[in-house]
């Protein structure tokens, strides 16, 4: 899936780096789950990639760690509101959507996917109608 996989060390912590070469003009650095994902032009030298990592790496990791977790075993963020979860079973009461009751985390995941899919489909159809 990735063209190259290396590791990069910042402050005695080693981070995986996944590099993909593409037909693009600029190098793009992203961080997700404490791993770097880099998209770069086809013939980018490794020194340019490492130079960018040394310049932006620490800041990207810091920003990734600052982002709030949207879903844990004790709470979930939905529509800008924080809802407490009681596992293995519980209820989430939304103001604009039907409430969700669940018996396990897996059932909660299924019901949330179904709810979001219906929201996305309805919004897609609404904008599709507006655009003709």
Q: Is the pTM of this model over 0.85?
A: no
Q: Which residues of the chain have pLDDT under 70?
A: 1, 67-71
- Name every residue whose Cβ is closer than 8 Å to that of residue 33 and which is 6 or more positions away in sequence: 64
**Cα 18 from Cα 131, distance rounded (Å):** 39
Instruction: Tell me the Ramachandran region of residue 110: left when phi exceeds 0, alpha when psi lies from -120 to 50, beta otherwise.
Output: alpha
Q: Which residue has the tokens 């990592």?
A: 53
Helix (H, G, I), strand (E, B) or coil at 98: coil
pLDDT the model gives residue 104 = 81
């Amino acid at each position: 899936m990735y063209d190259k996989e290396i590791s990069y060390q910042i402050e005695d912590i080693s981070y995986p780096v996944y590099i993909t070469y593409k037909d693009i003009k600029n190098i793009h650095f992203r961080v997700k789950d404490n791993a770097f994902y880099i998209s770069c032009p086809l013939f980018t030298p490794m020194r340019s990639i490492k130079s960018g990592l040394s310049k932006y790496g620490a800041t990207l990791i810091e920003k990734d760690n600052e982002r709030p977790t949207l879903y844990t075993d004790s709470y979930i963020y939905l529509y800008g509101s924080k809802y407490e979860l009681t596992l293995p079973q519980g209820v989430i009461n939304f103001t604009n959507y039907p409430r969700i009751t669940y018996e396990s985390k897996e059932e909660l995941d299924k019901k949330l996917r179904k709810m979001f899919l219906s929201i996305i489909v309805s919004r897609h159809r609404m904008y599709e109608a507006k655009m003709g």
